[in-house]
Amino acid sequence: MSYEQPDARGHFGPYGGRFVAETLMGPLADLERAYAQARIDPVFQAELAADFRDYVGRPSPLYLAERLTADAGGARIYLKREDLNHTGAHKVNNTIGQALLAKRMGKKRLIAETGAGQHGVATATVAARLGLACVVYMGAEDIARQAPNVRRMRLLGAEVVSVTLGSRTLKDAMNEAMRDWATTVDETFYVIGTVSGPHPYPAMVRDFQAVIGEEARRQFLEREGRLPEALVACVGGGSNAMGLFYAFLGDPGVDLYGVEAAGKGLASGLHAAPLTAASGRGVLHGARSYLMFDADGQIRDTHSISAGLDYPGVGPEHAWLKDIGRARYVAVDDKMALAAFHRLTRLEGILPALESSHALAYAHDLAARLGREAALIVNLSGRGDKDVESVAAYEEAQTCRA
């Protein structure tokens, strides 16, 4: 399969593009130019590779979860251990790449939006290392449910700004980061944390995250001498999923599953599953994609137990992969994700992030369906230390209600 996306203007079929206020058009063109140069510059690529190895700890292991496999009673379940990266999630692959680019462009200040706080921590981390100022926008609701990450960001020297307007989650944090960027474009580099936003972000973030799938493909081939039947990854904006999928897009025998957050159930409307619920196509945060909105085009509030998936949109490349049928999108609700969280912790001694737990929940069922001859890879996109308190609080609330 030949797959060359996006086109020169950042379109993945009808999706993507650059829907921003005029003030950001010039800076986005500058970024596009700088990235196009860096991408083919061996010096930049060598710097990135060295940082991946020595600072992030790459390659991350591909781990065969034997007890989890036995529990599911089917396909062998491998975990791509992005949780073992420095800072505890895949997010750092991207922030290292963007920060190196910021340095090349002479920017003095990084800004970021964050939901779970993992992208905020990863941005604050690279800012500390490069001596750059850092401001992270975070919805007030997420600040409350991801408190450990807020403390980490502050320790790293970042300013964490609480966003109190709107739904007070990831989408509002992104609005606020865009407003900051429009005001401070000359000195600021906006580090977007997922494969959404205006061109060139979806392609650039995908490229930085593609190391996940490149490694996993090589590791799996070494281990099994063939390719897996399926890949499974959770989808918030879609960066860990794109990162895992990308190297496998040309392998038609490998099925790709993106797992969205069904929250309290798709029927309840309280979810964050724009692809699965096929809510419609719209424009938010600089790109056209699947999006959750009402009859008047107002963006709908979302719900997920996991802050990192609690977002009404999704990266445009996922919209395209859905439409061309290359990837399938499914959704897992809060309860199933939580069960998967406990299952992995007790069976394998690995505490997964609530985001990744959505992928684990789906993979468990899929493994049983595929049967014992098959194998699949789940992207364990992050570790769950940040979620310990909010899982306890959630379960306490459930018990009280019961």
Ligand X SMILES: Cc1ncc(COP(=O)(O)O)c(C=O)c1O
The item of ligand X, another protein, none sharing an interface with residue 235, based on CB under 5 to 8 Å by kind, is ligand X
Residue with tokens 């970021």: 112
Minimum separation from the CB atom of position 204 to ligand X (A): 13
> Applying CB under 6 A, does 238 fall inside the site for ligand X?
yes
Cα distances from 380 to residues 34, 164, 241, in angstroms, run 31, 31, 10
Give the nearer residue to ligand X in terms of CB position, either 10 or 74.
Answer: 10
The item of another protein, ligand X, none sharing an interface with residue 355, based on CB under 5 to 8 Å by kind, is ligand X
Among 60, 85, 118, 357, binds ligand X (CB under 6 A): 118
Among 28, 337, 340, 353, binds ligand X (CB under 6 A): 353
> Applying CB under 6 A, does 153 fall inside the site for ligand X?
no
Give the nearer residue to another protein in terms of CB position, either 185 or 210.
Answer: 185
> Applying CB under 6 A, does 263 fall inside the site for ligand X?
no
Minimum separation from the CB atom of position 40 to ligand X (A): 25
The item of another protein, ligand X, none sharing an interface with residue 295, based on CB under 5 to 8 Å by kind, is another protein
Structure-token pair, residue 32: 């596009």
Give the nearer residue to another protein in terms of CB position, either 113 or 387.
Answer: 113
Residues near another protein (CB under 8 A) are 9, 17-27, 29, 165-166, 171-172, 175, 178-179, 182-186, 280, 282-286, 291, 293, 295-299
SS3 letters for the chain? CCCCCCCCCCEECCEEEEECCHHHHHHHHHHHHHHHHHHCCHHHHHHHHHHHHHHHCCCCCEEECHHHHHHHCCCEEEEEEHHHCHHHECHHHHHHHHHHHHHHCCCCEEEEEECCCHHHHHHHHHHHHHCCEEEEEEEHHHHHHCHHHHHHHHHCCCEEEEECCCCCCHHHHHHHHHHHHHHHCCCEEECCCCCCCCCCHHHHHHHHHCHHHHHHHHHHHHHHCCCCCEEEEECCCCHHHHHHHHHHCCCCCCEEEEEEEEECCHHHCCCECCCCCCCCEEEECEEEEEECECCCCCECCCCCCCHHHCCCECCHHHHHHHHCCCEEEEEEEHHHHHHHHHHHHHHHCCCECHHHHHHHHHHHHHHHHHCCCCEEEEEECEECHHHHHHHHHHHHHHHHHC
Minimum separation from the CB atom of position 22 to another protein (A): 4
Q: What is the CA radius of gyration of the chain?
A: 19
Give the nearer residue to another protein in terms of CB position, either 30 or 389.
Answer: 30
The item of another protein, ligand X, none sharing an interface with residue 237, based on CB under 5 to 8 Å by kind, is ligand X
Minimum separation from the CB atom of position 202 to another protein (A): 15
> Applying CB under 6 A, does 331 fall inside the site for ligand X?
no
Starting at the edge strand found earlier in the chain, the sheet holding 255-263 runs 62-64, 76-81, 375-380, 230-234, 255-263, 327-333
Minimum separation from the CB atom of position 12 to ligand X (A): 16
Give the nearer residue to another protein in terms of CB position, either 45 or 164.
Answer: 164
Give the nearer residue to another protein in terms of CB position, either 184 or 345.
Answer: 184
> Applying CB under 6 A, does 357 fall inside the site for ligand X?
no
**112/160 Cα distance (integer angstroms):** 10
> Applying CB under 6 A, does 194 fall inside the site for ligand X?
yes
Cβ atoms of 136 and 158 closer than 8 Å: yes
Residues 53-92 that bind ligand X (CB under 6 A): 89
State the catalytic residues: 91, 113, 381
Residues 361-380 that bind ligand X (CB under 6 A): none
The item of ligand X, another protein, none sharing an interface with residue 119, based on CB under 5 to 8 Å by kind, is ligand X
Minimum separation from the CB atom of position 42 to ligand X (A): 28
> Applying CB under 6 A, does 356 fall inside the site for ligand X?
yes
Give the nearer residue to another protein in terms of CB position, either 283 or 339.
Answer: 283
Q: Name the residues that contact ligand X, by CB under 6 A.
A: 89, 115-116, 118-119, 194, 234-241, 308-309, 353, 355-356, 381-382
